[in-house]
Amino acid sequence: MVVRLCGVTKKYGRVEALRGVDLEIPCGQVVGLLGPNGAGKSTLLRILAGMCFPSTGTVEVLGGPPRRHRARIAFLPEPGCLLPWMTPPQVERLARGLFPDFQVQRFRELLEFLEVPARPAGTLSRGERQRLELALITSRNADLYLLDEPLGGVDLVSRRRILQGLIRTWRSEATTIISTHEVHEAEGLFERVVFLNQGRVVLDEMAENLRAQGRSVAETFMEVFS
Amino acid sequence: MHAWETRKKGPVYLQIVDNILHDIARGKLAPDEKLPSVRELAESMGVNPNTVIHAYTELERMGITYTRRGQGTYVRPDVPQDLLRKKFLEAAARKFWAEVEALGLSLAEAVQALEEVVHGGSSVRGDQEIRKS
Amino acid sequence: MTRSFGVLIWLEWKRLQTLAAILAVMVFLTVLIPIFFSPDRIELFGNLYGARSAAMAAGLVLTLGLTVFSWARERRTGLFQMLLGSPASAAQLVLARFAGPAALLAVFLVVLNVATDAALGHFFQAKAHLGLSALAMIYVSGITVFPICAWVLLGFIFVLTFRSSGVSLAAMLVFLGGSGTLGALIVELLNTISGRLAKLVIWPDFRLQPEQGWTCVVKVEQVYQEPLWVMLGVTLGCLVLSGVLWREVEV
């Protein structure tokens, strides 16, 4: 198991972002973490990335506490991870310095494939910036990729490009967890979908099983959350 | 194979299998021809590569394709192309007939419609006449 | 290891670039404005001293304010998350964050004082001891700038650590209260122990001597060396604590 969550609860003051989440994810799965805004998706990913700690319950990532294995976890936080002045070459410099598993060649190829303009991040459109960040994260040879809303708020063309970039860098031994509420385009990518609502896992199913029951992931999404 | 057509119901891997069988039946994929690589197909369809692998395994199990080690997946030389054609034609005919029955028409009328479609012209005489009657 | 530290220092430099330019302009104005707007030499003397003190205070406040502001912005834009998720050690991250503003302020103080002392020396025909001016400011940095920078960093990390439980205001108060008490204790300690070790000769002081027709002499003064060691110890303590707390930070 790459990820093992046991009764995880996270409180911010009086607000409960997660309430007793149990989840196990084996190696190599591509998991869609779905749910409306405020369902706890970001909190769950941040806990897995070691950005914060559960109030109660236990988290194990790659066989230990997340922060111990942070070198093997590639995390894309929801606000992004770039400052406005950073150009793609500067992002490359930063990543080379910070992450020993960063693949410069792959990064350059991805920039080209994702058509990221060579301008400072502050002057890029949201979709372009998100593609730049995706190139940065997926150019790492990590064992666990945690992507928080990589498709959020970007145009259709960017969304498809981002998904193609993800498939292009896909490695069968790496596990990927992607949170999104743009279910339609991402649907084919997920092997397994975990639906979160109000801090709880409300449905956890293999995507092909859902489809075999005659429902697409998107339709299930509508059903669960309407 | 059309990109991003995975929103239909039913498992995605079965859709891929169906698409490839269809391509073989239509001659777009000849015996001994190489199938697109897993990653290429996954990227063009926007699906998980594992799903494509699943579909390719299924095709091999069905005796449609074989794997050359390190080179990829190929259509078998003895692929039953005629049988596949018949199957797809049958499926299309079934759909056609269901529509004919739903419209309450007879087999003769259906055959006539089919002939007219093939030889050009239409059994329906145009919009204006339908409105008049 | 060195590679990641290099990149962290580079990040600091990028962050502080604009501020460095502003401080450079400040040095320039601190010297030029009194020269142009003083009616006579006596006034010039006072004005240069006054402008220098004002510039030192303004530089400190500006640097610390902008540094905390940019840290807060990094946390919002997610860069902080990336640093926290990188394999770089807590020691490296804390040290780079401290070194940026601390080094900038130290350089600012040295340049500012050397520039004003050189101007004084020029206008009063006194031989300025510019090397000593520089040393004096390194001393000042050691007893004020470094501990203050380390303390601000510790405060920021302290609040980040206890923020998620929804007690950032309480955390802030605890931190300020604790620091106040600790500060009083340190002053008390300095009063008791200072003067036991030999004094350091590093303080060049310009004196106007009216009885000789307003000539200017440079007196070299001595300062206690205990405060320097104690405050460097305090700096180190704050940095070590920051490193320990960094492991508990939640963003």
Domain boundaries in chain A? 3-79+143-225
Residue of A nearest to B48 (CA): A189
Write out residues in chain B with pLDDT < 50, as ranges: 1-4, 7, 123, 130, 132-133
**pLDDT score, position A78:** 87
Reading the block at residue B8, the tokens are: 């239909």
A 14-73: CB under 8 A from C:
14, 46, 49-53, 67, 70-71, 73
Residue of C nearest to A65 (CA): C247
Question: At residue A26, does pLDDT exceed 90?
Answer: yes
Q: How confident is residue C96, by pLDDT bands cut at 50, 70 and 90?
A: very high
Are C82 and A91 within 8 A, CB to CB?
Answer: no
Q: Does A102 touch chain C (CB under 8 A)?
A: no
**pLDDT score, position A143:** 94
CB pairs under 8 A between A and C: 79
d(CA A125, CA C111): 42
Residues of B with Cβ-Cβ distance to A177 under 8 angstroms: none
Are A179 and A45 within 8 A, CB to CB?
Answer: yes
Q: Give the E-state strand segments of B41-89 in sequence order.
A: 65-68, 72-75
CA A23 to chain centre: 16
Of residues C131, C137, C136, C150, the one with CA closest to residue C107: C137
Question: At residue A153, does pLDDT exceed 80?
Answer: no
d(CA C27, CA C6): 28
Using alpha carbons, list the distances in angstroms from residue C34 to A151, C27, C38, C42, C117: 58, 12, 5, 11, 13
**pLDDT score, position C212:** 67
The secondary element (H helix, E strand) that includes residue C210 is: none
Using alpha carbons, list the distances in angstroms from residue C112 to A185, C45, C57: 59, 15, 12
Q: How confident is residue A152, by pLDDT bands cut at 50, 70 and 90?
A: confident
Question: Which among C7, C78, C166 is the nearest to A97, CB-wise?
Answer: C7
Question: What's the gap in Å between the CA of B120 and the closest CA on chain A?
Answer: 39
Question: What's the gap in Å between the CA of A124 and the closest CA on chain B?
Answer: 25
Please indicate whether, in this complex, the C-beta atoms of A75 and C81 are within 8 angstroms of each other: yes
**pLDDT score, position C50:** 92
Subunit partners of chain A (3 or more CB pairs within 8 A):
B, C
Strands A175-180 vs A192-197: parallel, antiparallel or unpaired: unpaired
Calculate the CA dihedral of residues C53, C58, C61, C66 and round it to 10 degrees: -150
Question: Which among A30, A168, A218 is the nearest to B43, CB-wise?
Answer: A168
d(CA C220, CA C206): 9
User: What CATH superfamily is the domain A3-79+143-225?
Assistant: P-loop containing nucleotide triphosphate hydrolases (3.40.50.300)
Q: How confident is residue C164, by pLDDT bands cut at 50, 70 and 90?
A: low
**pLDDT score, position A212:** 80
Question: Which among B4, B10, B48 is the nearest to A191, CB-wise?
Answer: B48
Residues B38, B43, B44, B49: is their CA dihedral positive or negative? positive
Output B127 or C138, whichever has higher pLDDT. Answer: C138
Residues contacting residue C97 through CB under 8 Å, at least 6 positions apart:
C8, C12, C71, C153
Output A107 or C212, whichever has higher pLDDT. Answer: A107
Question: At residue C63, does pLDDT exceed 90?
Answer: yes
pLDDT in tens, B4-22: 455 456 788 888 898 899 8
Residues of C with Cβ-Cβ distance to A77 under 8 angstroms: 78, 81-82
